[in-house]
Structure 1
Amino acid sequence: MEYVTQIIDPPPSRNRLLLDGLLALRKPTFDGAPALPKERLVRAAVELSAPTISAYGRACGFRREQGVPLSYPHVLAFPLHLMLLTRPSFPYPASGMVHLANRIRQHRRLEEDQALRLEVYAERWVAHPKGQALSIATRAYSAGELTWESDSLYLRRDVVDPVGEPWGDNLSLPDQGLVRTQRWALPADLGRRFAKVSGDYNPIHTSLIGARLFGFRRAIAHGMWTLGRALAAQQPPGGLDVAEAHCDFKLPIFLPGQVALWNAPAAGPRRAFEVRNLAGDKPHMRGLFIWHSRFDESRP
């Protein structure tokens, strides 16, 4: 597919994104299969600034000695995701799109004050049993080389006859052997606090009234906060050179609330994990974290 590159400079303000989201609540109906947006949205030089990394780290529980969090570039790219979903060329309203899964791959070490070129585009449609899913690609380049990338899967429920390859990428983990390793208490204002560092002010995360308008009894935690918190609990000190994180989002986490991190026995620099309710019988997120660091003696 040929994309039309659009340089986004300066990035959109919070108010602009919220207004675009409201304007995109209603979209005209279309005939036939939906068309992928053709825009490739680009920010040419986004700084990995120490203050914003630190704020993100505090929100998710990362420590400074862990280096740049693996999940951090996603928050830099999220405004471009939202811009793409609220464009007239996108066939569905952005509100109600459900974040199903994320796949992150880091190819080279990220450093504070480094500049990244971010590119975001709609990659492919996916036919999901619950509706129409869309994969949005994020690519981050440094000095012309691919440094970090992610693929985010979003779902529009109740779409009849979805197009694309059938969804078959559920993350499979062992049914036995996971043990509870941490317990987290999540405050009622967690959604508002994470919105300040992530730019995701979706009302289902920040407002009781907003959450109820979309069918939730209370505000729910951001899925990317849950992933960040899980990675913070497992990312080794010293920073990461090459790493991957795969996660599937399951049941929402209502705020305030309590959840627990469950891990499979460690297998070198590889961690299978789930975030579950306190009883341990309902999964909120399932994930796999693999890394190589400068201090990982198992790296060839």
Structure 2
Amino acid sequence: MDYLTQIIDPPPSRGQLLLDGVRALRKPKLDGAPVLPKERLVRSAVELSATGIAHYGRACGFRREQGVPLSYPHVLAFPLHLMLLTRPSFPYPASGMVHLANRIRQHQRLHEGQALRMEVFCERWVAHPKGQALSIATRAYSAGTLVWESDSLYLRRDVKDPVGEPWDDALPLQEDGLLRTQRWVLPADLGRRFARVSGDFNPIHTSVIGAKIFGFRRAIAHGMWTLGRALAAQQPPGGLDQAEAHCDFKLPIFLPGQVALWNHPVSGPRREFEVRNFAGDKPHMRGLFVWNENRR
């Protein structure tokens, strides 16, 4: 597919993103199949700043000796995701789009102070049993080399006859031997705190009233906070060279609340895990984390 590249420097302000989100609350009813937007949004030099990494680390529980968190570049790209979802070329209202899954791959070690070229584009439609899904691709380059990438799957519920390849990428999990290894107590203001770090001020995360408007009884935690917190609990010290993290988001986590990390008590560079309620009978996120042990 031929994309129209647009350089986004400087990035839009928080106020502009919120205004664009309000403007995109209503879209004309589709007549026929949705058309994939053709814009490729680019930020030419995004710094992996020590301050930004530290703020993100405190929000999710990463320690400095763990290096650049595997999930951190996603927050740098998120404003571009939001720009794509709120543009007139996107066929659905941005509100109500559900983040279903994320796949992250890091190809080279990332460093504080490093500048990345971030590219974001709508990659493909996916036919999901619950509606029309969309994969948004993020690619990060350093000196012309791809060093980090992710694919984020978003869902528009209740769309009849969705287009694209059928979704068949759900993560399996070996239930036998899974143990509760950590408990996390989540405060009521977690959504607001993570919003300041991530730039995701969706009212379902930051406001009880906003959450109720969209059908939730209380504010819910960000899915990407849940992934970040799970990786922080398992990412080894010394930083990562090559690594992958896959996650499927399940039931929402209501704030305040408490959840637990369940995983297999194994050694080595592979973790299969779930974030569940403390009792262990309701899954919030399922994940797989794999890394190369040849660390410096």
Match of 1:160 in 2: 160
2: CA distance, partners of 1:266 / 1:250: 24
2: CA distance, partners of 1:271 / 1:30: 42
Match of 2:69 in 1: 69
1: CA distance, partners of 2:128 / 2:178: 28
2: CA distance, partners of 1:176 / 1:93: 41
Match of 1:104 in 2: 104
Match of 1:231 in 2: 231
1: CA distance, partners of 2:54 / 2:103: 23
2: CA distance, partners of 1:176 / 1:109: 34
2: CA distance, partners of 1:27 / 1:267: 50
Runs of 4+ in 1 over 6 A off after TM superposition: none
Match of 1:146 in 2: 146
2: CA distance, partners of 1:25 / 1:193: 24
Q: CA deviation at 1:267?
A: 4.8
Question: Superposition pairs for residues 135-284 of structure 1, below 5 Å?
Answer: 135-284=135-284
1: CA distance, partners of 2:34 / 2:291: 37
Q: AA paired with 2:149? A: E
Q: AA paired with 2:25? A: L
Match of 2:47 in 1: 47
Q: AA paired with 1:229? A: R
C-alpha distance after superposition, 1:151-202 (max 9, x if no partner): 0000000001000000110000112211000000000000000000000000
2: CA distance, partners of 1:77 / 1:176: 37
1: CA distance, partners of 2:52 / 2:193: 13
Give 5+ residue unaligned stretches, structure 1. Answer: none
Q: CA deviation at 1:265?
A: 3.0
> SS of the residue aligned with 1:288?
strand
Q: CA deviation at 1:29?
A: 1.5
Question: Superposition pairs for residues 65-144 of structure 1, below 5 Å?
Answer: 65-144=65-144
Q: Is the 8 A contact 2:240 2:295 kept in 1?
A: no
- Worse overlay, 167-176 or 100-109: 167-176
> SS of the residue aligned with 1:229?
helix
RMSD: 0.8
Q: Is the 8 A contact 2:105 2:149 kept in 1?
A: yes
2: CA distance, partners of 1:20 / 1:294: 44
Q: Is the 8 A contact 1:238 1:294 kept in 2?
A: no
Q: CA deviation at 1:32?
A: 1.0
Match of 1:288 in 2: 288
C-alpha distance after superposition, 1:18-66 (max 9, x if no partner): 0000000000112111000000000000000000100000000000000
Q: AA paired with 1:281? A: D
1: CA distance, partners of 2:125 / 2:182: 37
Q: AA paired with 2:4? A: V
Q: CA deviation at 1:268?
A: 1.5
Q: Is the 8 A contact 1:238 1:293 kept in 2?
A: no
TM-score, structure 2 as length reference: 0.99
2: CA distance, partners of 1:23 / 1:178: 45
Q: Is the 8 A contact 2:241 2:295 kept in 1?
A: no
2: CA distance, partners of 1:85 / 1:171: 26
Aligned residues: 296
Q: Is the 8 A contact 2:119 2:139 kept in 1?
A: yes
Match of 1:58 in 2: 58
Percent of residue pairs identical = 84
1: CA distance, partners of 2:105 / 2:267: 19
Q: AA paired with 2:76? A: L
Q: AA paired with 1:134? A: L
Give 5+ residue unaligned stretches, structure 2. Answer: none
Match of 2:37 in 1: 37
Q: AA paired with 1:115? A: A
Q: Is the 8 A contact 2:182 2:261 kept in 1?
A: yes
